[in-house]
Chains A and B, each alone.
Chain A
Amino acid sequence: DGGITQSPKYLFRKEGQNVTLSCEQNLNHDAMYWYRQDPGQGLRLIYYSQIVNDFQKGDIAEGYSVSREKKESFPLTVTSAQKNPTAFYLCASSGRRIQETQYFGPGTRLLVL
Chain B
Amino acid sequence: GENVEQHPSTLSVQEGDSAVIKCTYSDSASNYFPWYKQELGKGPQLIIDIRSNVGEKKDQRIAVTLNKTAKHFSLHITETQPEDSAVYFCAAASYDKVIFGPGTSLSVIP
Contacts and interface: CB of A to CB of B under 8 A. Distances in A.
B and A form one assembly: yes
Interface of A: 4, 6, 40-43, 45, 90, 92, 97-107, 109
Interface of B: 31-32, 34, 36, 41-46, 49, 89, 93-98, 100-103
A104 B95 contact: no
A79 B69 CA distance: 44
B100 A43 contact: yes
Contact of A98 (B44, B89, B96, B101): B96
B98 A102 contact: yes
B42 A43 contact: no
Nearest to A94: B98
24 contacts: A6-B43, A40-B103, A41-B102, A42-B89, A43-B44, A43-B89, A43-B100, A45-B98, A90-B44, A97-B95, A98-B94, A98-B96, A98-B98, A99-B31, A99-B94, A100-B32, A101-B34, A101-B46, A102-B34, A102-B98, A104-B44, A105-B43, A106-B42, A107-B43
